[in-house]
Structure 1
């Protein structure tokens, strides 16, 4: 699997990487942001996460309305993860029925949703490494002075 392209504005990085970064910035500068109110079909934990996460994502300047299905994938999988975890808390990882031991199916749901959340979250800049890449991309000389990027991206919440 090829590496993801590097997003950078650092003058010491390759010109083609900087050019792609500039093209990305231009492509999203006039795009609509994600709506901060969750879609009606989202409920519970998915809705809560949407409404907490979207303002942070919109603040990055790189997430646009076209990314809504990616954010929806993230919040739905998060809600499924939470529900599966409640099942594991209640029924344990394995349980016994009529003398037979069974693996709780929620364990597999936790495994698969965790992988999806990690992958999609990284795509949205929600891992430390991907956030650092987006921060690099967001830097300009004017923004660098006194800007606390950890606070901007919600690291201290």
Structure 2
């Protein structure tokens, strides 16, 4: 049985990234799933959050690379023509923001939000630990509570 098959069977996240992921997103997937499995209680239901995190990370990296190559701003030029309509030069008009800076900013905000949901920031990890400490270890299971509820009060578990 492959590792990914075991993960599906026990409800854990699969270490195998989705087939449609790029190299960057797949590498991020392996790092994030490895960290989450080792440090936090995550389930297969969290897959969509990890997928969003990985794809947002790829968008963030692509936007950053584009900004590195082309700069945060780009010059705006107006063509100057002679009386026959031939372009004889360009006048500098000003600057405009590189649209990739908006994509970069949006991806960074999404990464922060999703990372917090997954417990990938120091603050969210400490909040998750506080919640885990406050839950009594011997609390009745949901099945026991439902059984008690439907047994017309014969067995009370709170």
- Determine whether 1:121 maps to 2:152: no
Q: Max radius of gyration: which structure?
A: 2
Moved over 3 A (4+): 135-139
Aligned residues of 1:44 and 1:79 also touching (Cα < 8 A):
no
| 5+ residue gaps, structure 1 | 1-29, 140-157
Task: Say which structure, 1 or 2, has more relative contact order (CA 8 Å, 6+ apart).
Answer: 1
Mapped to 1, the partners of 2:69 and 2:39 lie a distance apart of 39
Query: CA deviation digits over 1:103-153, x for unaligned, max 9?
Result: 1011001111111111100000011011112334556xxxxxxxxxxxxxx
The offset of 1:31, in angstroms, is 5.7
Query: CA deviation digits over 1:67-91, x for unaligned, max 9?
Result: 1111111110010000000111011
| 5+ residue gaps, structure 2 | 1-8, 78-91, 134-158
Aligned residues of 1:93 and 1:104 also touching (Cα < 8 A):
yes
Mapped to 2, the partners of 1:43 and 1:137 lie a distance apart of 35
TM-score computed with the length of structure 2 as normaliser: 0.63
Instruction: Specify which structure has the higher proportion of strand.
Output: 2
TM-score computed with the length of structure 1 as normaliser: 0.64
State the aligned residue count. Answer: 110
- Determine whether 1:47 maps to 2:14: no
Mapped to 1, the partners of 2:35 and 2:47 lie a distance apart of 14
Q: Root-mean-square deviation (CA), in Å?
A: 1.9
- Determine whether 1:96 maps to 2:90: no
